[in-house]
Amino acid sequence: MDLAEVSAVYWRRPSLYRFPGLSNQDRDFAAVQATEGFGGVLASLACRYVNHPHHNWAAEYKPSQLSTAVQLGFEVPPTLITSDLAAARAFARKYAPVIYKPLRLTDVLRDGRPMGLWTQRVEPDEIDQNVAGTAHLFQAEVLDKVADLRITVVGDRVFCVRIESAAMLLDWRADYDALSYQVVEPPAGMVPRLQAYLKRFGLEFGCFDFAVDRHGAPHFLECNPNGQWAWMEPPTGLPMAAAFADALEGRL
């Protein structure tokens, strides 16, 4: 391929560079060199990106997401990121009920099978000294949640879907078969803030998640700059794939 002819890149979670024939040390060295070299070349093209990988990388940090959301006026649940046991327990008591979720999903295997680490409730006495091992994110649960909103923004197109389940799942990703979808209008005044959020990070695309309480108020949870979207197109009929094609062709 002549890279000078590339006019647009859709950067969609490329697989890691693998070198199965090398020792661990040589494999790690080769992978870093490939990432910096080939990945660096692909991130340096004079073309349109959806999204640029460096912008994705910066936008994936939960602390940056939450602080930016607060600055733009979104309602954000009280949140603590800590490795301090006393602070974690005090937060859990003050804001009960409290949830725990990973700062970033990683591959977790149990008996050789991949496992999902979903958002879950935690009690103060369930938090033990193991919290000191690394950073953890605790957040006040959105009380009286009645639904979730997944808002997918591609260029100037905004696709807002209300997600409900009979069991009112804390984390709807835990059981897709239990979900129902309804296309709705974004909450009043939200679209300019969504677009301002993406602009802050230099993104063309983002998947925003909000929890909706019984008063209809949306609470910002996160924005995934490389989120899943294609599974939602068939049940809703929303032209998401067409929006991505338009974005890559510069029509948005």
Mean pLDDT of the chain: 92
Minimal CA–CA distance to 154: which of 202, 206, 117, 112? Answer: 206
Q: 186 and 91, same structural domain?
A: no
Paired residues of 224 in beta bridges: 207
Q: Give the CATH number for residue 209.
A: 3.30.470.20
Q: 241 and 154, same structural domain?
A: yes
pLDDT per residue over 167-218, tens digit each? 666 777 777 888 899 999 999 999 999 999 999 999 999 999 999 999 999 9
Strand order of the sheet with strand 79-82? 79-82, 136-140, 98-101, 120-122
Minimal CA–CA distance to 190: which of 223, 227, 145? Answer: 223
Residue 36 predicted with pLDDT over 70 = yes
Q: 241 and 175, same structural domain?
A: yes
Top mean-pLDDT range of 11-15, 144-148, 197-201: 197-201
Return phi, psi of residue 84, to 5°.
-100, 120
Counting the structural domains of the chain, the total is 3
Q: 236 and 200, same structural domain?
A: yes
Contact 217, 146 (CB under 8 A): no
State the average pLDDT over residues 67-89: 97
Q: 153 and 128, same structural domain?
A: no
Per cent of the chain over pLDDT 90 is 80
Burial class, 208, CB count within 10 angstroms (exposed 0-12 / middle 13-18 / buried 19+): buried
pLDDT per residue over 106-144, tens digit each? 666 677 776 667 788 899 999 999 999 999 999 999 988
| Token pair listed for 96 | 């009960």
CA distance 57 to 101: 19
Q: 216 and 147, same structural domain?
A: yes
SS3 226: coil
Q: 178 and 147, same structural domain?
A: yes
Per-residue confidence (pLDDT) for residue 248, from 0 to 100: 95
Report which of residues 228 and 171 the model is more confident about: 228
Alpha-helical runs (H) found in 72-219:
85-94, 190-201
CA distance 60 to 68: 12
**Domain range for 18:** 3-49
Band of residue 91 on the pLDDT scale cut at 50, 70, 90: very high
| Token pair listed for 111 | 């008996």
Q: 226 and 202, same structural domain?
A: yes
State the average pLDDT over residues 92-111: 85
| Token pair listed for 150 | 């997944």
Q: 66 and 134, same structural domain?
A: no
DSSP 120-142: EEE-GGG--GGGGGS-EEEEE--
